[in-house]
Structure 1
Amino acid sequence: MFGSRRGEDSSATCPACGEAVDRTDAREYDKYGNRWERAEKEFEYLCKPCHRDLCHQPRQGLEAALVECEAGDADRETFLTQFLETATADEAER
């Protein structure tokens, strides 16, 4: 396609596996799930194998739930317990 518009680096690191990939060999990823609204966003780039492994279903509210459950900060057991409680409560509200 076209070259970089902002003089960005032509390589990226896949956040899923840590592999360094050329941007032309990567897939743009928007953690908020709406890559079409581009204003003032920074995107991550997944390598093609990791992108294929993603679930491409809507994930409205997922980012907020992860933040609420302290993803990346809490230990695994605490995070999973909090996430399960949050997901169960959300399901009960529907």
Structure 2
Amino acid sequence: MWGNRDRATQVTCIACGDTVSRTDAREYDKEGDRYDRRDKEFEYLCKPCHRDIDHQPRGNLESLLAESGAGETDREAFLTRYAELATERGPRSESER
């Protein structure tokens, strides 16, 4: 039903960088829709890092990070673009928090 998954595969935690077995990790979908699995490649968090993250809704944070070039550009360019976009969009309303 879920397809053939090789649970013995080693994955790298995106938070701490440790390499762990797939069974000792949790899937992370930066698009926020882990149940739509078609043509998706997931990133992973080790179980301790997964427990440590805030599981509350983050609004459009992932899309803002992706649009800012997170993980694809140097730190200075990312921070400059992130600040521009965040300023442009302004503070979230109370209903969006």
TM-score (ref. length: structure 1): 0.71
CA distance in 1, matches of 2:33, 2:92: 25
Query: Is 1:33–1:58's contact at 8 Å kept on the other side of the alignment?
Result: no
Query: Is 1:17–1:50's contact at 8 Å kept on the other side of the alignment?
Result: yes
CA distance in 1, matches of 2:6, 2:41: 11
CA RMSD of aligned residues (A): 2.5
Q: Which residue of 1 aligns with 2:31?
A: 32
Identity %: 55
Query: How much has 1:25 moved relative to structure 2?
Result: 1.4
Q: Which residue of 1 aligns with 2:40?
A: 41
Unmatched segments (≥5 aa) in structure 1: none
CA distance in 2, matches of 1:73, 1:44: 15
Size of the aligned set, in residue pairs, is 91
Q: Does 1:6 align with 2:4?
A: yes
Q: Which stretch of structure 1 is more off in the superposition, 7-16 or 42-51?
A: 7-16
1:23/1:77 Cα in 2 relative to 1: closer, same or farther (>3 Å)?
A: same
1:72/1:52 Cα in 2 relative to 1: closer, same or farther (>3 Å)?
A: same
Unmatched segments (≥5 aa) in structure 2: none
SS in 1 for 2:40: coil
**1:48-92: CA deviations, max 9, x gaps?**
121123232334543443343233344323321221121111126
